[in-house]
Structure 1
Amino acid sequence: MSRYGLMQVHDGENAKVDVVFLHGLRGDREETWTQDGVLWPKDLLPQDIPESRIFLFGYDTGITHRDQSSVTKTEIHSDAEDLCAKLAAERSNTNTVRDPEFQASSTYYMLLLAADCREQEDRPIIFIAHSLGGLVAAQIVVHGEQRTEDSRTKSITKNLRGMIFLGTPFQGSSAAKPAEIARRILKFFGIDTQEHTLKLLGVDSERLDELTKAFPNVLNKRRTSKDPKDRIEAFFFYETLKTGWGRGSIQVVEADSAQLPGCGEAAPIRADHVKICKFKTVKDEGYSVVVAAIRKVMLPPDAFSSQVRNNPPPGLLQPAPQGLYRIVDTVFLF
């Protein structure tokens, strides 16, 4: 069975949101999110977010040998395009988004007339990304800003409502820039870390600097949009524990590198870089704050004013210890 592409693990009755998981460099579509046999997007999340459709996205970041000649020739921007194409096709096939490329045809209109379903649902999308997978998600947002309305990339980005990042390196810190963190991850797996390797993977300094400068501007434009349905909520979670490495340990992504001040909410998760995205039970601290973030994104954009949305009334939401919001009631507000 292929480890690449979209894998649907849950499709709730009357689903109102598509949640898409993206692994990072040297990650795996299922293993990245699995701890002691628990694949939490499949085994835990549907219990708390039943009215959702959940996908795992896998892309080829494999490096089968330690020499740079065997590095997979893939880049962040091509992985972003691949995800958009596959997700747009799935949403079009299941009638959960208007397909801009097909919608212009007379055949499309006749089919809608025959089915008596002229109004298709543009279902909101939430990305949950680990490590460098967050840069793939960021690339999608930047690409979407540059694309025309009739592109499939645009059809994904215009319906994107939430982005949850788990240990994604966005900016340079006292310790390292994103490209240096990519080197750390490769070195962690015993892989060649020369600049040629990073360029083949699309994580060299030049391209990452360009992406991490463009993304905050586009994200803030969406976050502050006057149209509530155009806004994106962003959450940045960072590791607090060092990751074991040989006989020692290392802080793979520093806290200040995993945040974009002014671009969304940030909070720690007591885990290392590998386990920040793995949860065994619903009682895990990390799981609780991620679910709280998903639920906040799922609040209807036109249900409250932005002031009430950001400062919920008592009894609806209560502050979590990390500064996020935790839903008290289990009733969804749609």
Structure 2
Amino acid sequence: MTSTTLRLTGIPRTTTRRELSKAAGVSTDCISLAPTDSSHNSVSTATITFGSKRAADKFRSVQRFKPAKCLGKRPNIDTEFLGLTVLSTSGDQDEVDLIAVHGLNGHAFSSWASGDRMWLRDFLPAQMPKTRIMTYGYNSSVWDKTSTTTIPEFAQGLLWAIINKRGRKECNRPIIFVCHSLGGIIVKLALNTALEDTQTAMISTVTHGIVFLATPHKGSDLACNSFLGIAAKALGVREDLILALCMNSGQLDDIENDFRLNHDGLDLATFYETKKTKIARVVSAFDHVIVERSSALLNVGADPRYPLERDHKQICKFACQHDDDYKAVCNQILRMAEVAPHAVRTRAIKKALQMPQISTMIKFGGDTLRSYSSAWSDDCTLKLR
């Protein structure tokens, strides 16, 4: 049986995991419960993993007509997980935001899950108690021909989801991204795009690090495969998303060049697949390494690079926190989180000192800057004495 996870939004902040466990009939370790955002009147968001689709459908049906008291009057229950979903937070104690972005044909929860275990929800919070952990979902399905959303629009969606999620007191908080496949392309483009608007530029400034898991920076040979192209037309899938990931795509080159130019100081870690992914269940001749090593390596600075004996689908799934591959990925995230607050403060000060009005003040002996802790106002603008 395949487990199924539901997302519940609009739950009262007073609801506890124990109450949810009782209402859903599942163990508390199959549940996450966190405030949707930092506002005082915010509601909570929960994820609940059921042992089967049948059990999840039954729960959903019952709650539609007679919701349990702990769920509030009108909880919204879905399986799509679009937008940002908070999996774990310590509230005002959080020092870093971690955002996971899935890849092509992926899902904000199941792409990171192995069985009923989802490492971002079930393992990582215990190791990063002062981190708000979120997963971002977008419609990257190649089977949905009704969608016309482009890669630049996916990037814009991510950017504004982050802006809308972060309150005034959180806008200076460092961000670490964990990206699988196309997710890495979208994050790079989002950071490039952020610099084009004063309302979003701060996201670029506070982003400290990115963990890439099999991201095709230079594209994939498989996307250029003529047989795949014929199959795509025959099956009626979104050719535009597939073709955008072709090897040496002009769009990918532009994204990478802009990223190198504007974000060469970021803390990066790269993991790449070394096993072929089974494309057809019966014919092994179609097995393929989706993202070759040469495409997975960004070659920016001296970023750590790690081969994982996994295929393209399994490189972002970990069933056990004692798994060596999980430890390798987790250690890179922990390393970034440890230095992120200081690194982001330093970068912000350097950028501030490059502002023309501040350079003039220093040159002519004007007011001095406050320390970083008080130099930024609640609306993320620099304030002076």
TM-score normalised by length of structure 2: 0.60
Partner of 2:137: 58
Q: Which amino acid aligns with 2:297?
A: Q
Partner of 1:161: 208
Q: Which amino acid aligns with 1:157?
A: S
What percent of counterpart residues are identical? 25
From 319, 341, 348, give the equivalent of 1:280. 319
- Considering Cα pairs closer than 8 Å and 6+ residues apart, tell me whether 1 or 2 has the greater RCO: 1
Partner of 2:259: 218
TM-score normalised by length of structure 1: 0.69
Partner of 1:96: 170
Q: Which amino acid aligns with 2:139?
A: D
Partner of 1:292: 331
- Partner SS, residue 166 of structure 2: helix
Partner of 1:174: none
Partner of 1:260: 298
Q: Does 1:34 pair with 2:113?
A: yes
Q: Structure 1, residues 118-140: CA drift from partner, whole Å, max 9, x if none?
A: xxxx1000111111111101111
User: What is the alpha-carbon distance in structure 1 between the residues aligned to residue 321 and residue 289 of structure 2?
Assistant: 26
Q: Which amino acid aligns with 2:189?
A: Q
> Cα offset for 1:199?
2.7
Partner of 2:240: 199
> Which runs of no fewer than 5 residues in structure 2 stay unpaired?
1-77, 344-385
TM alignment of 1:68-83, pairs within 5 A: 70=145, 72-83=147-158
Q: Which amino acid aligns with 2:121?
A: K
Partner of 1:6: 84
> Cα offset for 1:86?
1.1
- Structure number with greater Rg is 2
User: What is the alpha-carbon distance in structure 1 between the residues aligned to residue 203 and residue 243 of structure 2?
Assistant: 22
User: What is the alpha-carbon distance in structure 1 between the residues aligned to residue 96 and residue 243 of structure 2?
Assistant: 30
Partner of 1:316: none
- Evaluate the alpha carbon distance shift between residue 166 and residue 71 of structure 1 in structure 2; reply closer, same or farther with a 3 A threshold: farther
Q: Structure 1, residues 25-75: CA drift from partner, whole Å, max 9, x if none?
A: 10011110000111110001101111100111000112446xxxx252111
User: What is the alpha-carbon distance in structure 2 between the residues aligned to residue 156 and residue 85 of structure 1?
Assistant: 10
> Which runs of no fewer than 5 residues in structure 1 stay unpaired?
98-121, 172-177, 224-230, 305-334
> Cα offset for 1:290?
1.2
User: Conserved in 2, the CA contact under 8 Å of 1:139 and 1:211?
Assistant: no
Q: Structure 1, residues 60-102: CA drift from partner, whole Å, max 9, x if none?
A: 112446xxxx252111110111111111111026x301xxxxx
User: Conserved in 2, the CA contact under 8 Å of 1:75 and 1:202?
Assistant: no
User: Conserved in 2, the CA contact under 8 Å of 1:141 and 1:215?
Assistant: no
> Cα offset for 1:197?
3.7
- Evaluate the alpha carbon distance shift between residue 162 and residue 272 of structure 1 in structure 2; reply closer, same or farther with a 3 A threshold: same
- Evaluate the alpha carbon distance shift between residue 256 and residue 84 of structure 1 in structure 2; reply closer, same or farther with a 3 A threshold: same
- Evaluate the alpha carbon distance shift between residue 207 and residue 3 of structure 1 in structure 2; reply closer, same or farther with a 3 A threshold: farther
TM alignment of 1:165-184, pairs within 5 A: 165-171=212-218, 178=219, 180-182=221-223
User: What is the alpha-carbon distance in structure 1 between the residues aligned to residue 242 and residue 288 of structure 2?
Assistant: 23
User: Conserved in 2, the CA contact under 8 Å of 1:195 and 1:204?
Assistant: no
> Cα offset for 1:258?
0.4
Q: Structure 1, residues 149-199: CA drift from partner, whole Å, max 9, x if none?
A: x222x221211101111011112xxxxxx1544457x959x6448999433
Q: Which amino acid aligns with 2:316?
A: C
- Evaluate the alpha carbon distance shift between residue 219 and residue 16 of structure 1 in structure 2; reply closer, same or farther with a 3 A threshold: farther
User: Conserved in 2, the CA contact under 8 Å of 1:162 and 1:232?
Assistant: yes
- Partner SS, residue 170 of structure 1: coil
Q: Which amino acid aligns with 1:266?
A: R
- Evaluate the alpha carbon distance shift between residue 128 and residue 222 of structure 1 in structure 2; reply closer, same or farther with a 3 A threshold: same
User: What is the alpha-carbon distance in structure 1 between the residues aligned to residue 244 and residue 325 of structure 2?
Assistant: 27
